[in-house]
Amino acid sequence: MSERAVDVLRGSLLEALGTFAGRGRVLVALDFDGVLSPIVDVPSAARPLPESAEALAALVATTDVALVSGRDITDLAACASPPPGVVLVGGHGTQSSLDGPDGGRRLSEQEQELLERMGAQLDEIAAAHPGTSVERKPMSAVLHTRAAERVVAVEATRAALAGPAALEGVHALRGKEVVELGAVALGKGAGLQRLREALSASGAPVEAVLFSGDDVTDEDAFAVLDPDAGDVGVKVGPGDTRAGHRVSDPAEVALLLAHLVQLRAR
C-alpha cells in the first residue's frame, strides 16, 4: 500500500476494510457521480477516474461489484463503461441490470400520466428560471439547478417542491443541485437491499456490503447497512452522514478500491 493510501485509509477505515475483505462473498456498491467520477457541469460528460476504472476491472474478478445511481440505467452504462460483471442499479433503486439492460420495470398507465404531468410542470419552472434544466428519465423527472445563479437556483427549487412535488402520488428526492420527482417510490436503500437479496438467491449469501456515496440521496442506502454485521459505509466529501467512515473525494475512493483489490486477492 502506498504512503498516500496509508494516510487516507488509516485508523478505523483501514481496520474495517481489512475485516470486510476477509469475509467470503461480499458486495461493493458505489454511487457514480461524485464517487467514481468527479462532479461535472454537464452530466453526460462524467467519466470514472482511470484509477477507479482500473481497480473495478480487477476487483470484479474476486468480488460482487455494483454501481447504484440516480441516473437512468442506460445513461449510467454509457458514462461509467463498467467492466463485464458489474451490476448496474439505476433510477434511485428502481432499475437493475439483473432484470435486463433497460432495468426491467415499466410504469402503469396512471404512473405514466403522472410522470408527464409533473414533467410538464418542471418544464414551466425551468423556462422561468434561467440556467435550470429538466432531465426526463423513464420513471422520474429531474430539475437541475447547478448552472443557475444561486438566487435563481433557490427560487426554482422552492417552486418545484411547492408545485409538482406536492402532487398526489409523486415521490420527491432533493439532492445536490437537483430535485427529482418520481412516479414510483425512489430510494437507493431499497434498491441496495433488493440487489443483496437477488445476489444471495443466486448462490452463496452475501455476507457483507460496502456502500460509498456522496449525496444526501445516498443516506437511505447508508441507513440499511448493518455495521455490527460487517457492513461498511463510506461517505465521500463533507456533510452530515449515517456512514461510519469518510474519504475526501473520488481520488481517495480510487485508493480505497485499489487497496480492496490487494486485500481480496489474498
Catalytic residues: 31
- Phi, psi of 246, deg, nearest 5: -150, 140
**Which burial class, exposed, middle or buried, applies to 140 when counting CB atoms under 10 A from its CB (0-12, 13-18, 19+)?**
buried
Instruction: Please say whether the beta carbons of 246 and 235 come within 8 A.
Output: yes
Residue 13: how many other CB atoms lie within 10 Å: 18
The answer for residues whose C-beta is within 8 angstroms of residue 88's C-beta and 6 or more apart is 66, 67, 69, 73, 76, 77, 80, 82, 95, 96, 97
Q: Contact, 193 vs 12, CB < 8 A?
A: no
Name the DSSP letter for residue 82: P
